[in-house]
A = this chain, B = another copy of it.
Amino acid sequence: MSRLSFRQKTHLVREDAIVNTVMRLLAEKGYDPMTVDEVAADVGIAKASLYKHFASKEALAAAAMERALGLALDQVQVQQALVSASAMDRLKAITRWTLQTQLAGAMPTLPAENSSLRKALIAHRGYMDRLMSLSDSLGAWIVQAQADGAINRLLPAEAVLFTIYARACDPVLGFLKAGGSYSDAQIIDWVMGTCFDGLAARA
């Protein structure tokens, strides 16, 4: 790792730029509407050059999703390091980070059941490994938070996990932002509130 030729370094830097562009475009438009021409133009290289780095559009998207999960795992590490934080604190922190990232336009939309990407991602080991790792960490926190009495014990941990995952593509953020009347911080607080405390008034 430590000894890379100039050529190897520029290669990595370019791939990094490509993946960042794909992450942003996936967040903006989604997989199907994003075109490879667009990616190439945005990065500033020819389309054929793109295909020297990634074998297909699916591989491109998989790399972007893999990086997005990597960023989420980084946040998990940050939370693990906070020894005084409760499981609930950690879950809320991760959820908040997810909302912030989506609102910043940097969260590629997770693949729904119907997406053409889904099967490609399932076949992509780097993506699946990170997804499993993330689910394991969050799952453990959820079980702990339920044991602590912080999260509703009647909900299966799976349902809680999916509900938190779904915040990564929650359209409510975009709707409220489009209205233009609210600050990002305000929007995030409201969505955090509805996620953890619901719409109903608390007693």
Contact = CB atoms under 8 A, between A and B. Distances in A.
Interface of A: 28-30, 32-33, 88, 110, 112-114, 116, 149-156, 158-160, 162-166, 169-172, 174-176, 178-179, 182, 190-191, 193-203
B33 A152 contact: no
A150 B202 contact: no
A163 B172 contact: yes
Number of identical monomers bound together in the oligomeric complex: 2
Given A33-B114, A114-B30, A172 B152 contact: no
Contacts of A150: 200-201
Nearest to A170: B166
Given A30-B114, A171-B110, A195 B199 contact: yes
